[in-house]
Amino acid sequence: MGERTIIPFGPQHPVLPEPLHLDLILEDEKVVGAVPSIGFVHRGLEKLVEKRDFHEMVYVIERVCGICSFIHGQGYCQTVEGLMGIEIPERAKYLRTIWAELSRVHSHILWLGLMADAYGFESLFMHCWRVREKVLDIFEETTGGRVIFSVCRVGGVWKDIDNDTLKRIVTVLKDVEKEIKELSDVFIKDYTVQKRTRGVGVLTYQEAIDLGAVGPTLRGSGVPMDMRKLGYAAYGELDFEPIVEKDGDCYARTLVRVREVFQSLDLIYQAVNKIPDGEIATKVRGNPPAGEFISRLEQPRGQVIYYAKGNGTKYLDRFRVRTPTFANIAPLLKMLPGSDLADVPILALTIDPCISCTER
């Protein structure tokens, strides 16, 4: 056994712009253990539910994260609607699905860019983020925002997208699809990428289940779980199967995200073809009743869980968000032992950590 050394990784690190700290226990260059620390910037946003009424709270919950802000707003609204027994119009369900899948596309492309940056492939990083701008332009055109959209409301959505605009969006996305196909070849076929990711940070099928892994981290280990299969929003009307890779290593998690970009684009095309005409919101009367409700949705990083407890007033007693990154920290601790110190930045990136979500 070599001499043991503890190397601090983060909370400030070039590949992690957000504060996640790991105490890496090393024997020579090999990681044999890791202890995480989070909570450097915990904001206590959930607590604000006691001071913001249930209509206003959606704008707080959107700000849990700047990358998956829309799905946080959607999840909040869906949970409160469940608590109040509100059925939203069909068109609103489709619009939510389209914005949610656009969020997944831009999040995964953002992540691919960050991975390219971690490999040292700076041109690839810039190309990924250049393509992502086209998706952000769609958000700006349809919602008025590029990061925070404020289009979800309890009872539906605030804004419609007319059918001509939807067709134009599909044309833009066909360009995005073509460009991502070209870029994804590097992530799939490049020798250096494979050398850095194949066989690194393996999480087995059973470990992924037992440790509570979610999203591409779970599906990269062969587990076909995707919360969209619950059929919320318009997903019950769309044809798709969870994207699964079996090897459980960094390469498998990369492949899942690459393939999910194309799956999300396909889901948007399907939704645009099927979206019905009609109202985009239903009138909400009264306050959330006494009771509780749990929702599970699929964020780009994996399953997110929302819990709401009402008391009959306009303030909820409790709103809880269990974010995907929080769930993926325990699996990360399992993946790290056995890897080389040099692999740690890329390995940590493959859970796509979002500390903004975690420090809600």
Rg (CA), the chain: 20
Residues 227, 303: contact at Cβ < 8 Å? yes
Question: Binding other proteins by CB under 8 A: which of 293, 339, 346, 350?
Answer: 293
Q: Extract the runs of DSSP E, i.e. beta strands, from the chain.
A: 4-9, 21-27, 30-37, 152-153, 156-157, 291-299, 302-310, 318-322
Q: Does 56 bind other proteins (CB under 8 A)?
A: no
Tell me which residues in 63-102 interact with other proteins (CB under 8 A).
82
The SS3 call for residue 35 is strand
Residue whose CB is less far from other proteins, 198 or 229: 229
Residues 6+ apart with CB under 8 A from 72: 61, 62, 64, 65, 304, 321
Instruction: State the binding string over 197-236 for other proteins (x if CB under 8 A, else -).
Output: ------------xxxx-x--------xxx-x-xx-x----
The SS3 call for residue 241 is coil
Residue whose CB is less far from other proteins, 46 or 101: 46
Question: Binding other proteins by CB under 8 A: which of 70, 125, 129, 326?
Answer: 326
Residues 256, 216: contact at Cβ < 8 Å? yes
Residue whose CB is less far from other proteins, 159 or 314: 314
Question: Binding other proteins by CB under 8 A: which of 5, 163, 273, 313?
Answer: 313
Nearest distance from C-beta of residue 227 to other proteins, angstroms: 7
Paired sense of beta strands 30-37 and 21-27, if any? antiparallel
- Interatomic CA distance for residues 48 and 187, integer angstroms: 41
Q: Does 237 bind other proteins (CB under 8 A)?
A: no
Q: Does 39 bind other proteins (CB under 8 A)?
A: yes
The binding site for other proteins (CB under 8 A) comprises 35, 37-40, 42, 44, 46-47, 50-51, 82, 209-212, 214, 223-225, 227, 229-230, 232, 292-296, 303, 305, 307, 309, 311, 313-315, 317-318, 320, 322, 326-327, 329-331
